[in-house]
Structure 1
Amino acid sequence: MRKPERFRRFLDYFINNFPEPKTELQYGNPYELIVAVVLSAQCTDKRVNLVMPALLEQFPTPYQLAAASAEEIFPFIRSVSYPNNKAKHLAGLGRMLVNDFGGEVPSTIEELQRLPGVGRKTANVVVSVIYNQPAMAVDTHVFRVSHRLGLVNRTATTPLAVEKELLRYTPEEVVAKAHHWLILHGRYICVARQPKCGICPLTDCCRYYEVNFATAPSRPLPPPAANDLL
């Protein structure tokens, strides 16, 4: 199957079955989202959602965050990954939001990447989710699933290379949704160690399945469980 056909099959399935995907991070405004996304680096959304309420109660706006030190922030995020670095990032992020952006979260990738702890992936998430821009954030799930499905070439070995290929073949109006589709598929079905090919609805267009199962001797796959599906 050629790449455009794989894209069409992938997009058709999710457009028809999950037309309105959303981030699993809980937030109420752009400030809360950018804080959550910074905390989510190499950490689960579930863990971030657990620490956010107390953190936001103490630092409800960029102004309170800007007035805090990393040492004051640390106790609220100690259970996330790399809490020392993230506490420093959040303290610097708060100060820059206040001093450089009037307390508002900027709306361009270039400006967002000036903020401490904000790389291209985080910036893409913010402009996509908050400002509805056609940006494709490439995290580990997106990187893995796009390669397994065959949506990107094997030579796309960096997040930026994957981002460019995905944008080339994904219609602009569904780019933001496709980001969530790839993440959710990677989080619940196309998992890292043992992908759940037995319940995957995309095996007919999946390069990984084609290589590992389609040409191999027939062997039974586990039946799907309803609560495993997206």
Structure 2
Amino acid sequence: VSVGSYNDMGTLLTSDDVASTFTARGPTLDGFVKPDTLAPGEHVLGLRVSGLVYSDASGAPIGSTTDRYIHMTGTSASSAFVTGVAALVKAARPSATPNDIKGAIVASGRQVQGSSVTAVDAFSALTRNATANAGLVPSRLLAKILTTAHQLNVNGVLWENVNWDVVIWDGVSWETVSWETVAWETISWETVAWETVTWEGVSWEDSVSAE
């Protein structure tokens, strides 16, 4: 789940909430709307690590190293809220899959000024049944890497049934990868299915070239 930030304006009202100017907007190169949801991310009060120096955008220190709490701004703060909601959804529905949890969070959101992406709503997420990623095709970049490494035969792909448990990422290295001659013309996304895909034995230990 990709998380953006909104400003709650320091009030309990939701009608004055507005999307943060610094949060990302727009679709990815694959055409997917991002972020998936918004959560409070400006002047959020949280615990401060004792002895650690925090700095603002200008490099000036924030507060004292002996302070117990600190106000921080950024999508890192927003992500903590969404993580908590995800945990609540999982606790309420132990059998929920990651896609179910993401679907519940995204589908139950409420409108926020300045963004087409909705804000997380914990109460609504607990009772919303929805799934995420249905019908989405994966990154063409990822598919090209896998097919070039002879790890994937793509006739088209859906994300909802992907199982990454047997994929080994320990040896991933991009230093020798060249993208200059990558061409997507031969990749077809029209017939989407995982039936012929096998992930057994997939390993990134060997260098991958996308030529």
Which TM-score band applies after superposition, normalised by the shorter structure? under 0.3
Normalised to the residue count of structure 2, the TM-score between the two structures is 0.25
Q: State the structure with more CA Rg.
A: 2
Give 1 or 2: higher helix fraction: 1
